[in-house]
Chain A
Amino acid sequence: MDTLKGLLESLVRGLGNGSVYALLALGFVIIYKATRVISFAQPAFMICGAVAVSHLAGVTGFYAAVLISVAGVAALALAVERAAIRPMVGRPVFVVAIITLGVDVVLRVIVNGFIGRDVRQVGDPWGFRTVHLAGIGVQQRHLAMLAAAVVVLLAVFAFFRHTRYGLAMRAAAYDQEAALAQGVSVGMVFALSWALAGGLAAIAGTFVGTGQGVDQLTWIIALKALPAIILGGLDSLGGAVAGGLAVGVAESLVQAYQQQLAPWLGQNFAVVSPYVVMLVVLLVRPYGLFGTREVERV
Chain B
Amino acid sequence: MLAVRNLEVVYDDVMLVLRGVSLDVPAGSVVALLGANGAGKTTLLRAISGLLGVHDGEVTKGEVTIDGEPVHALRPAAIVRRGVSQVMEGRRVLAELTVEENLRVGGHTRPREIAANLERVFALFPVLAERRHGVAGYLSGGEQQMLALGRALMASPRYLLLDEPSLGLAPALVRRIRDLIAEINRQGVTVLLVEQNARMALSIASHGYVLETGRVVMDKPAGELLRDEDIREFYLGLGAEGADRSFRDVKHYKRRKRWLS
Residues of A in contact with B (beta carbons under 8 Å apart): 164, 167-168, 170-171, 174-185
> With A182-B108, A183-B155, A185-B77 in contact, do A174 and B96 touch (Cβ < 8 Å)?
yes
Query: B151 — which chain A residues lie within 8 A by C-beta?
Result: 182
Q: Which residues of B contact A164 (CB under 8 A)?
A: 104, 108, 111
User: Is B51 touching A182 in the complex (CB atoms < 8 A)?
Assistant: no
Assembled-state Cα–Cα distance A183/B75 (Å): 9
In the assembled complex, the Cα of A239 lies from the Cα of B257 at a distance in Å of 58
B94 pairs with A170, CB closer than 8 A: yes
Within 8 A of A (CB), among B66-97: 75-77, 80-81, 85-86, 88, 92-97
Contact A175 B108 (CB under 8 A): no
Smallest Cβ distance from A204 to chain B, in angstroms?
A: 27
Chain B residues lying within 8 Å of A178, measured Cβ to Cβ, are 88, 92-94
B95 contact set on A, CB distance < 8 A: 174
Contact between A177 and B88 (Cβ–Cβ < 8 Å)? yes
Query: A181 and B105 in contact (CB under 8 A), knowing A164-B111, A170-B94, A174-B95?
Result: no
Q: Which residues of B contact A180 (CB under 8 A)?
A: 50-51, 54, 76-77
* Total cross-chain contacts (CB, 8 A): 69
Q: How far is the CA of A171 from the CA of B151 in the complex (A)?
A: 12
State whether the Cβ of B197 lies closer than 8 Å to any Cβ in chain A: no
What number of B residues sit within 8 Å (CB to CB) of A? 29
Q: Quick check: B77 and A175 within 8 Å, CB to CB?
A: no
Contact indicator B105/A177 (Cβ below 8 Å)? no
State in angstroms the CA–CA spacing of A248 and B218 once bound together: 68
Give the interface of B toward A (CB within 8 A): 49-51, 54, 75-77, 80-81, 85-86, 88, 92-97, 101, 104-106, 108-109, 111, 151-152, 154-155
Are B80 and A183 in contact, with the CB atoms below 8 A?
A: yes
Those 8 A-B pairs whose CB atoms lie nearest each other, nearest first: A183-B80, A183-B109, A178-B92, A171-B105, A183-B77, A180-B76, A185-B77, A174-B94
CB of B46 to closest CB in A, whole Å = 9
Whether the Cβ atoms of A168 and B49 lie closer than 8 Å is no
Q: Choose one: B75, B96, B111, B155; the contact of A182 (CB below 8 Å).
A: B155
Give B90's nearest chain A residue, CB to CB: A178
A278 to B3, CA, bound (A): 57
**Listed residue (A178, A180, A182) with the most chain B CB atoms within 10 angstroms of its CB:** A182
In the complex the two chains form, is A181's CB within 8 Å of B86's CB? yes
Residues of A within 8 A of B92 (CB): 175, 177-178, 181
Q: Are A168 and B76 in contact (CB under 8 A)?
A: no
Q: Is the CB of A183 within 8 A of B76?
A: yes
Contacting pair B106 A182 (CB below 8 A): yes
A181 touches B97 (CB 8 A): no
Q: CB distance A181 to B96 under 8 Å?
A: no
Name the distance in Å between B134's Cβ and chain A's nearest Cβ: 16
Closest to A183 in B: B80
Asked if residues A182 and B97 are in contact (CB atoms below 8 Å), the reply is no
Query: Smallest CB-CB separation from B137: which chain A residue?
Result: A174
C-alpha spacing A29/B14, complex, angstroms? 37
Determine the distance from Cα of A179 to Cα of B155 in the docked complex, in whole angstroms. Answer: 13
Across-interface contacts of A170 in B (CB, < 8 A): 94, 96-97, 101
Compute how far the CA of A168 lies from the CA of B97 in the bound complex, rounded to whole angstroms.
11
